[in-house]
Amino acid sequence: MKKQKLVLLLLGTGLFMMMLSGKIMASDVHVHGEADMHIVLENTKLHVEFTSPIFNLAGFETDRLSDSQRKQLDSVKSKLIDSDKWLDLKGGDCSLTQSKSGSSYDDSDSVIDHSNSGAHAHHHSAYASFLFMCQQPELLTQLSVSIKNEFPGIEKINIQWIVGNQQGATIGVNPTVMINFKNE
Ligand SMILES: [Zn+2]
């Protein structure tokens, strides 16, 4: 039991450091059907990051986009950035101050190098990230994620979170995934 707690703590610290250094994207494992979320509350700032293989969101992951695929991808990105539609916070008096979404197609630098590994040559991911400012962060009790209805290709969401001195991991398989930050 104690050992597990220590491991979680170490994982959490690493996660937090990665989020701070902006390296979180590269650390995610690309598995079709799965999406990743990282949630960190740091004082009054709540960072929420979502990453998914584009295959889950658009049904393709080709190397070169056709015009219609490009349009489809634009629509995916605008759905992702619309956090009102799929993210809900309970308590904390938090308001959204920054948001962005994008994909590995946007920036050729972030496309996985084909010469390195044949197995992963054609994978692409999309992401959305949000920064909320919370007036009463200690009262933030729950975050719910309802994105699987919009994107049925997402079979499960791997969620890791650090909120105050609490942290946890949730594997979400329901249409709406609730993450409770306060332990009963
Ligand atoms: Zn892929």
The model's confidence at residue 27, banded by pLDDT at 50, 70 and 90, is very low
Instruction: List, in sequence order, every residue forming a beta bridge with 129; answer none if it has no partner.
Output: 49, 100
Distance from residue 13's CA to the centre of ligand 1 (Å): 28
Inform me whether the pLDDT recorded for 68 exceeds 80: yes
The model's confidence at residue 25, banded by pLDDT at 50, 70 and 90, is very low
Distance from residue 73's CA to the centre of ligand 1 (Å): 15
The model's confidence at residue 1, banded by pLDDT at 50, 70 and 90, is very low
* Matching residue, tokens 């190098």: 113
Distance from residue 183's CA to the centre of ligand 1 (Å): 36
- Give residue-wise pLDDT tens across range 78-127: 999 999 999 999 999 999 999 999 999 986 544 444 444 444 457 899 99
Distance from residue 6's CA to the centre of ligand 1 (Å): 33
pLDDT of residue 121: 58
Instruction: Spell out the domain ranges in the chain.
Output: 2-109+117-180
Distance from residue 123's CA to the centre of ligand 1 (Å): 4
Closest CA to 83 of 97, 103, 99: 99
pLDDT of residue 23: 43
Distance from residue 164's CA to the centre of ligand 1 (Å): 34
Distance from residue 54's CA to the centre of ligand 1 (Å): 7
Helix (H/G/I), strand (E/B), else coil: 79: helix
Distance from residue 9's CA to the centre of ligand 1 (Å): 30
Rounded Cα distance between 82 and 66, Å, is: 25
Distance from residue 104's CA to the centre of ligand 1 (Å): 11
Rounded Cα distance between 74 and 126, Å, is: 11
pLDDT of residue 20: 47
E-strand ranges in the chain read: 34-42, 45-53, 87-90, 94-103, 125-134, 142-145, 156-163, 166-172, 177-180
Inform me whether the pLDDT recorded for 61 exceeds 50: yes
pLDDT of residue 2: 46
pLDDT of residue 107: 67
- Give residue-wise pLDDT tens across range 124-174: 999 999 999 999 999 999 999 999 999 999 999 999 999 988 999 999 999
Please tell me what DSSP assigns to residue 28: S
Distance from residue 74's CA to the centre of ligand 1 (Å): 18
